[in-house]
Amino acid sequence: MGRIFKSLFLILRPKHWIKNLFIFAGPFFSLNFFVYDNIKKLSLGFICWCGISSATYIFNDIIDRKEDAFHTLKKRRPISSGLISTNLAWIVFILLSLFFFLIAFCIKTSFGYLILAYFLINLLYSLYLKHVFILDVMCISFGFILRVISGAMLINVGFSEWLIMCTLLLSLLLGFGKRQEEITSLEKVAMHHRRVLKDYDVGFLQHIPYVLVSSTIVCYMLYTVSQEAVRKFGTKNLIYTTVFVIYGLFRYVYVVNEKKKGADPTQIIFQDLPSVINILLWIMVSGFIIYLL
For each successive 10 residues of the chain (293 residues), what is the average pLDDT?
79 92 93 91 96 95 78 74 87 96 95 97 93 91 95 90 93 87 66 72 83 95 92 93 96 79 66 90 96 87
Residue at a domain's end among 159, 180, 214: 159
What pLDDT, on a 0 to 100 scale, did the predictor assign at position 120?
A: 97
What pLDDT, on a 0 to 100 scale, did the predictor assign at position 145?
A: 96
Determine the angle formed by the axes of helices 242-254 and 161-186, rounding to 10 degrees: 20
Q: What Rg do the C-alpha atoms of the chain give, in angstroms?
A: 19
What pLDDT, on a 0 to 100 scale, did the predictor assign at position 206?
A: 81
**Contact at 8 Å (CB) between 275 and 177?**
no
Residue at a domain's end among 131, 159, 187: 159
Same structural domain for residues 172 and 261?
A: yes
Please choose, from the candidates 60, 34, 27, 154, the residue with its C-alpha nearest in 3D space to the C-alpha of residue 103.
Answer: 154
Same structural domain for residues 112 and 168?
A: no
Q: What angle do CA 33, 38, 43 make, to 5 degrees?
A: 100
Please choose, from the candidates 177, 252, 181, 165, the residue with its C-alpha nearest in 3D space to the C-alpha of residue 215.
Answer: 165
What pLDDT, on a 0 to 100 scale, did the predictor assign at position 230?
A: 92
Which domain CATH number covers 114? 1.10.357.140
What pLDDT, on a 0 to 100 scale, did the predictor assign at position 122?
A: 95
Q: Is residue 2 assigned to a domain?
A: no
Task: Compute the distance between CA of residue 151 and CA of residue 278 in angstroms, rounded to an integer.
Answer: 23
Tally of domains in the chain: 2
Q: Is residue 110 assigned to a domain?
A: yes
Handedness of CA 62, 67, 73, 78 (dihedral sign): positive
What pLDDT, on a 0 to 100 scale, did the predictor assign at position 180?
A: 79
Same structural domain for residues 27 and 108?
A: yes
3-state secondary structure of 127: helix
Q: How many residues does the chain have?
A: 293
Number of neighbouring beta carbons within 10 Å of residue 169: 21
What pLDDT, on a 0 to 100 scale, did the predictor assign at position 243?
A: 97
Q: Is residue 8 assigned to a domain?
A: no
Same structural domain for residues 178 and 139?
A: no
What pLDDT, on a 0 to 100 scale, did the predictor assign at position 138?
A: 94
Q: Is residue 256 assigned to a domain?
A: yes
Same structural domain for residues 171 and 236?
A: yes
Same structural domain for residues 172 and 139?
A: no
Handedness of CA 72, 68, 213, 232 (dihedral sign): negative
What pLDDT, on a 0 to 100 scale, did the predictor assign at position 3?
A: 76
Same structural domain for residues 24 and 155?
A: yes
What pLDDT, on a 0 to 100 scale, did the predictor assign at position 192?
A: 57
Task: Compute the distance between CA of residue 40 and CA of residue 47 in angstroms, rounded to an integer.
Answer: 11
Same structural domain for residues 138 and 230?
A: no
Domain that holds residue 283: 160-293
Q: Is residue 176 assigned to a domain?
A: yes
Same structural domain for residues 120 and 199?
A: no
Residue 13 — φ and ψ, nearest 5°? 50, 60
Task: Compute the distance between CA of residue 66 and CA of residue 193 in angstroms, rounded to an integer.
Answer: 8
Same structural domain for residues 133 and 165?
A: no
Q: Is residue 1 assigned to a domain?
A: no
Helices vs strands, H then E, count in the chain: 14, 0
Same structural domain for residues 49 and 146?
A: yes
Same structural domain for residues 36 and 116?
A: yes
Q: Is residue 11 assigned to a domain?
A: no
